[in-house]
Structure 1
């Protein structure tokens, strides 16, 4: 029985992307006999088809179907649907990947709930918080969910029941170029689906963002963008017509109006050419009027409401100004303390709102209400209700999540957050926050243990007045571990000054903790490490050992030559021991009167290694060389007559052509 048909449209697929995709399919826990893979090649002019046939020759469950070039993934997907023999159809892009348990978990969840579509937990390479709020919990029936439409994000990376698609004739629009073809498809799914399931507990799909993919070629200053956006708005109104669809129609319209119509008025808008600003203004204003989006404005956050009213009143000049003066201000957090308590990581965080330019939220009190502090010219045009953020300030969202560098999966962490208002004597209002959490490594991955031996970065997530941000947790709290027999979990400030956790990170702990003392213990050497630690136990790790003196020509040396030597350090087994708050490294079989140990070499500002010396008086440790400071950048020669820059219009025309060709 074929449970799932995986449909993959291909066109000039990069070898590394195809290898990533097929590797993820080979690793599926669902037996290969229970799913099929259908590659539909859209007339690739390179060797893509030959590479696909080679793959299929060694995999009985893989089929390759070549077609004439159609110019877009829509027709290949439709061909794949028609060929599919599985109960469910899953779509993939040609350079993405599925997580190992994706097909099994999504199929079983969909079958158990009689789902017409299963939306599985998705990650995106470039956006750690991508879709995190959408996948908050497993929902057998997510249809009718009030906080967000259950099919958002409306990409095709989901699993659809084949009989459901056929019964309602749901297919992708076929043209050479169709912007948002996945939205048109999912609007029909939303209209007809009786059961929409959302799977959050098992990672499903990794969207690998690359230059030249369809969505990266969407240019907001072109008529193409606005023509297709108008069709999306029209399809939302018609495909989700009727009182039975009131909720989901409103959810999708808010998403389109707030995110795409008004969303173009960001910091980048002010830097566009006059002609492009005018085109964007005219086209967005036309959509606002045609679809009567003013009815949605009471549901928008203040920063969107202000832009909506300026757009409706025709004040393009003020829209340009406010894109700079009222830019979104992200929230970020700094760790006050991070300490292990009985095997769990207790975190206490201060939160502020500000950007890299030093700008902060500009709020002011007027009577018993708090408003955005805007340019007087803007205040004269927009309504009082548009600038009122009083209710928004009473619903500030603060939270934490942890993000895997290798897997790209993010998991929300249980946390408690609170915000405070601070007023000055002139009526100015500032906002700060506090977040606290107790992170259990054994259950932080949606109830499961975090992947061991890998880096997990902690992020602070904030939302205020509709503006959400996800920023690394800043930390300068010294590294520490919690130990148990067989392992030790490490938390440390990474080289960028942010908090990172490594489950079973005993080897990295040896490099992130500075040595304090050394003593002989029988045939062993015991090095005491810095920090205040938790738990009790022994864990095996690795330590680099090299004869001393170390040749100064190896790549990590302070004075590395232009033709560096190989790394002289050899990895040796070491034991990390923790008891009574103290961490020690026990070394055996260390020979020689003077050896170099790669210990504490990743402590900020520390040496590249430490030197262990045996003398008649005992054993000593001393610092090795420190890394060479980075060379200052070479001064550029002054140009008495700078070459004139290319006209902005020409640069943008060239950029447009390059993007269409997938070269930029």
Structure 2
């Protein structure tokens, strides 16, 4: 008999009152109880957990396995006991104080099955102030791996695992670690997995911050427990992952998250003697992972922190930790020193000759943010007109060198164009507690596409708009448009413009979903013909020999006289009639039939090289008649022309005249 699809394993220790919701959320999953088993291991609870498990076992008969064991001191032993009993194709580890979203398991199983992956991370939501990793949940990922994503930043076991992966590699939770026991288990599972999926568009797991502080990571305070699992993770990376970018990617997580938590939350509260010993051990632990080639991956604060750890500068480290906490509490960014085209955060001991900490530990040039706002973006003829402001966050707008960049998306061809710098007095005063102002951040630009390519016209393509925002020798690029005034339209503005003797299409639009501006030159994305439509053909009111053709043109602009109806006859003759614009983009073309020569006339609506065939002349349209040089003439639709415009213009014979009009 086949086993269940998912085995939900819950390690419970004094988990009341959270346990009830945890088990109920698993039992009532949309995947159905026929596809579930719930294994709860009571790790020596003393708070009524056992009684509640007995009650729930009656509420969900046949669904639960309940195991009671002496307290083991951590979640490893009960989780392993659950694994030993699991029969499901998948296992999901659920903490007893957390609960699942109603469709969580169904969605995660479907993601794994559809993509052939061994592990699925479901989006986690913190409750009561619980801080959880979120960087891996920016978007759903059908299939990724541990080296090209942020999944390694989530080393808790609250995930869906294919049980075959666990058993094939003999994975179990180490029992000798008071905390961090999940990291070796999850890290090895990641490294062995055939693929990893992320469900980010549904809240799969809700994690509580317990009011009694009973979460394991809260119970086990102090630096000592962390100094037990961290070297184990360092050894795991050194043994399992070869040197190079892959190892550095994983090491980044431990050198930032784990080191910061140990220092900021634990070491600072311990006696001096304990601090000194812990710092010495930590320095030895991180030594194999941190090398100069990693510095570009690390923030300046992380570099400074690691430098002080490496050199066992305890007093300086304690001051930096307190400074780091103040940064987190403050609503203002740290000021910078700009020197030689680089920006250095004014953290403690910057260029202090006594401590001689390298500038590299303060360099935030790569982390400087660009901020911009577009107040005008519009096409006028062949010119693009832009205005707004842009600046480097924390860098005073002196020696401004901002310029506009047009970069073709496929070929990467680019042209840099000057802008006019304009005053923006007081800009920035409402942020960062008023520490920074940017008085010369404004820009204005008028770009003529007929000369933008080093004096020549731009070629066809998608030309993305960037600013190279520069001040005091530092410059950074930013796509523009996402931040714009409400009055600046995000919708496409398509027009026909004359470049030399040629008519070309030009569209200014904002991309989706990011809203950045792009110029589409040559119909790469925005076609002209769908913006032209024809409504009808008939004789003009009060002018029985004028054919009236009506339609709509959704183009924002085109050269005078460019939109017209062109008729050609079966003898090679051609005549054209210019459209007259009406309200709301509508147009009217009047064709004086009496001016046409005898023949069978076809036709189309044209604007430059674009042509839209005219629809058939309605069969119900009566013939027109007139006299030319005293002789009778007529025009009538050709009845068997099918779906094309066909109008016969001819002189009436006396015989046809006796038979009646148009006969």
Normalising by structure 2, what TM-score?
0.53
Structure 1 pair 118–73 and aligned structure 2 pair: CA distance change class (3 A): same
* Corresponding residue for residue 586 of structure 2: none
CA change 1:376–1:207 in 2 (3 A) is closer
Is 1:192 the equivalent of 2:192? yes
2:77 aligned residue: 75
Unaligned runs of 5+ in 1: 331-353, 399-416, 435-664
Aligned residues of 2:338 and 2:395 also touching (Cα < 8 A): no
1:479-518 per-residue CA deviation (whole Å, 9 max, x = no partner) reads xxxxxxxxxxxxxxxxxxxxxxxxxxxxxxxxxxxxxxxx
State the Cα deviation string for residues 82-131 of structure 1 (Å, max 9, x = none): 21121100011111100111111111111111211111111122457733
CA–CA separation in structure 2 for the residues paired with 1:363 and 1:80: 53
Task: Give 1:365's aligned residue.
Answer: 338
Task: Determine helix, strand or coil for the equivalent of 2:10.
Answer: strand
Contact 1:363 1:429 in 2 (8 A): no
- Structure 1 pair 298/280, CA: closer, same or farther in 2 (3 Å)? farther
Q: Which residue of 2 aligns with 1:97?
A: 99
- 1:242 matched to 2:217: no
Query: Which of 122, 129, 135 matches 1:133?
Result: 135
SS at 2:136 equivalent: coil
| Alignment-derived partner of residue 181 in structure 2 | 181
Offset of residue 136 of structure 1: 1.7
| Distance of aligned partners of 1:321 and 1:144 in 2 relative to their CA distance in 1, 3 Å threshold | closer
Aligned-partner Cα distance in 2 for 1:152–1:173: 20
Alpha-carbon distance change, 327 to 209 in structure 1, aligned in 2, over 3 angstroms: closer
Distance in 2 of aligned mates of 1:267 and 1:55: 38
Q: 1:396 to 1:72 in 2, by over 3 A?
A: farther
Q: 2:361 aligns with which of 386, 398, 401?
A: 386
What count of residue pairs does the alignment treat as equivalent? 385
What do the CA deviations read for 1:251-282 (whole angstroms, capped 9, x no partner)? 22111112222554449866654334323322
Rounded Cα–Cα distance in structure 1 between residues aligned with 2:265 and 2:26: 41
CA distance in structure 1 between the aligned counterparts of 2:391 and 2:135, rounded to whole angstroms: 19
Matches within 5 A, 1:505-524: none
| Structure-to-structure mapping, 1:23-62, within 5 angstroms | 23-59=24-60, 60-62=62-64
Q: Select between 203-212 and 67-76 the one with higher mean Cα deviation.
A: 67-76
Q: 1:161 Cα shift? A: 0.7
Residues 545-584 of structure 1 mapped to structure 2, 5 A cutoff: none
**Could you list the per-position Cα deviations for residues 180-221 of structure 1 after superposition, in whole angstroms to 9, with x for gaps in the alignment?**
111010121022111111111121111112212211123234
Q: Answer yes or no: is the 8 Å Cα contact 1:146–1:247 preserved in 2.
A: no
Aligned mates of 2:94, 2:74 — CA distance in 1: 14
Separation in 2, partners of 1:167, 1:159: 16
Runs of at least 5 residues in structure 2 that lack an aligned partner in the other structure: 374-389, 401-433, 442-663
Kindly report which structure 2 residues correspond to 1:225-236, keeping only aligned pairs within 5 A, or say none: 225-236=226-237
Q: Deviations over 1:422-469 (max 9, x none)?
A: 52889998489x9xxxxxxxxxxxxxxxxxxxxxxxxxxxxxxxxxxx
SS in 1 for 2:234: helix
1:394 is displaced (CA, Å) by 4.3
Alpha-carbon offset, residue 361 of structure 1 = 1.4
The alpha carbon displacement at 1:397 in A equals 12
After superposition, the Cα gap between the structure-2 partners of 1:117 and 1:365, relative to the gap in structure 1 and judged at 3 Å, is same
* Aligned alpha-carbon RMSD (Å): 3.5
- Which of 63, 85, 93 is matched with 2:65 structurally? 63
Q: C-alpha separation between the residues in 2 aligned to 1:321 and 1:174?
A: 36
Partner of 2:306: 308
Deviations 1:517-552 (A, max 9, x none): xxxxxxxxxxxxxxxxxxxxxxxxxxxxxxxxxxxx
The secondary structure found in structure 1 opposite 2:142 is coil
Deviation at 1:374? 4.0
**Separation in 2, partners of 1:84, 1:63:** 10
Q: State the partner residue of 1:88.
A: 90
Contact 1:119 1:151 in 2 (8 A): no
Q: Deviations over 1:314-364 (max 9, x none)?
A: 33232233334455635xxxxxxxxxxxxxxxxxxxxxxx817xx651212
1:265–1:307: 8 Å Cα contact kept in structure 2? no
Provide closer, same or farther for how the CA distance between residues 362 and 21 of structure 1 changes in structure 2, counting only shifts above 3 A.
same
| Aligned pairs for 1:422-461 within 5 A | 422-423=395-396, 430=436
Shift of 1:28: 1.7
User: What is the rounded CA distance, in whole Å, between the counterparts of 1:268 and 1:42 in structure 2?
Assistant: 27
Q: Is the 8 A contact 1:363 1:372 kept in 2?
A: yes
Which of residues 10, 13, 21 in structure 1 aligns to 2:12?
Answer: 10
8 Å CA contact retained: 1:142, 1:196:
yes
Distance 1:120 1:396, change over 3 A: farther
Change (3 A) 1:322 1:168: closer
Q: 1:266 to 1:162 in 2, by over 3 A?
A: closer
In structure 1, what is the Cα distance between the partners aligned to 2:232 and 2:48?
A: 36
Secondary structure of 1:137 counterpart: coil
What TM-score, normalized by structure 1, do the two folds share?
A: 0.53
Q: Which one scores higher on RCO, CA 8 angstroms, separation ≥ 6?
A: 1
Within-5 A mapping of 1:210-359: 210=210, 211-221=213-223, 223-238=224-239, 240-242=240-242, 246-266=244-264, 273-293=271-291, 295-325=293-323, 327=325, 329-330=327-328, 355=330
